Amino acid sequence: MREDFFVETTITRGVRASVEYALQSKTAVVIKGKAGQGKTVTLLREIDGRRPFARGIYWRANVSDATPRAALCSLADILGDHYGSHFSNASSCKAAFEAIEEFLTAWQAMGDFLVVDEAHKIDLSVLQEVSDFPYRHGLPVVFCGNDKLLKRSRAKAGNLDQIESRCGRQFIVGEASEEDHKAIAVAYGVVGQEALQACIQFAAKQSIRELVEMLSAARAGSAGSDIGSNEIREAAAFLKKKRGLRMLARDDDDL
């Protein structure tokens, strides 16, 4: 969902309510669901919208954060940037964790909160430590990830139990409703029952992210005018071709 056409949906309301719960209760919460449903856009909007009364710290994990040391160093870098302190890459998990503790101990009364996006890419032992931040430092934490966020091997069951027990709330993102899809389409300038129904049918097979991508293409094709069924069909065909070219590019990379 693009920022300039942000539309409230059942999903965005659930995400916002989870952030509010974390801040009011000073606890950790979990938001999980499949990609492309607007979780990240809503979280970033929450961070921007709550300044200056609450300062959100955004940590988006990537595949390079899979090991405990890499994840802790990444978090220490994020906190160092947020609090205006320098952090040099630590040689051990212990050194990185000590730097994190030092940052949070010094700034725990600032009304901040931490958003951990793509949290399913982070080692469970690190998530376990982060889930304890609300209790040790008064720092609310919002974990966001896909359905595998708290589904790991049985060998990690102890870590999972501790993480879940520390999270005051879990919001499981379901499917967006037809009304959600319709509201997004209307916000982009779609008019006419046929065009709206085409958007609803498209979104039912894809995701909100892909619906927005299609509507952006349709809006560009309409030169800012109302979007009808012709523009919807052309934009959907364009995206299908674009997706096919992406697949071909990936196949070429494998040759």
Residue 244, pLDDT score = 63
Task: Judge residue 61's burial from the number of C-beta atoms within 10 Å of its C-beta, 0-12 exposed, 13-18 middle, 19 or more buried.
Answer: buried
Cα 34 to Cα 147: distance, rounded to the nearest angstrom: 6
One-letter identity of residue 77: D
Residue 247, pLDDT score = 39
| Residue pLDDT, tens place only, 14-26 | 999 999 999 999 9
For domain 3-172, the CATH architecture is 3-Layer(aba) Sandwich (3.40)
Q: In what order do the strands lie in the sheet with 112-117?
A: 55-60, 112-117, 141-145, 28-32, 167-172
Cα 208 to Cα 206: distance, rounded to the nearest angstrom: 7
Cα 194 to Cα 78: distance, rounded to the nearest angstrom: 47
| Residue pLDDT, tens place only, 145-162 | 887 665 554 445 455 567
Q: Please, which residues have CB within 8 angstroms of residue 50's CB and are 6 or more apart in sequence?
A: 23, 56
Residue 254, pLDDT score = 39
Q: How many residues does the chain have?
A: 255
Asked if omega into 52 is within 30° of 0 (cis), the reply is yes
Q: What is the secondary structure of the chain as a DSSP string?
A: --GGG----HHHHHHHHHHHHHHHHT-EEEEE--TTSSHHHHHHHHHHHHTTTSEEEEEE--GGG-SHHHHHHHHHHHHHHHHT---PPPSSHHHHHHHHHHHHHHHTTS-EEEEEETGGGS-HHHHHHHTTHHHHH---EEEEE-TTTT---GGGHHHHHHHHHHEEEEEE--PPPHHHHHHHHHHTTB-SHHHHHHHHHHHHHS-HHHHHHHHHHHHHHTTTS-B-HHHHHHHHHHHHHHHHHHHHHHHHHH-
Residue 93, pLDDT score = 86
Residue 222, pLDDT score = 86
Q: What is the secondary structure of 31-93 as a DSSP string?
A: EE--TTSSHHHHHHHHHHHHTTTSEEEEEE--GGG-SHHHHHHHHHHHHHHHHT---PPPSSH
Residue 90, pLDDT score = 65
Cα 189 to Cα 87: distance, rounded to the nearest angstrom: 47
pLDDT < 50 stretches in the chain: 1-3, 153-155, 157, 245-255
**CB of 197 closer than 8 Å to CB of 229:** no
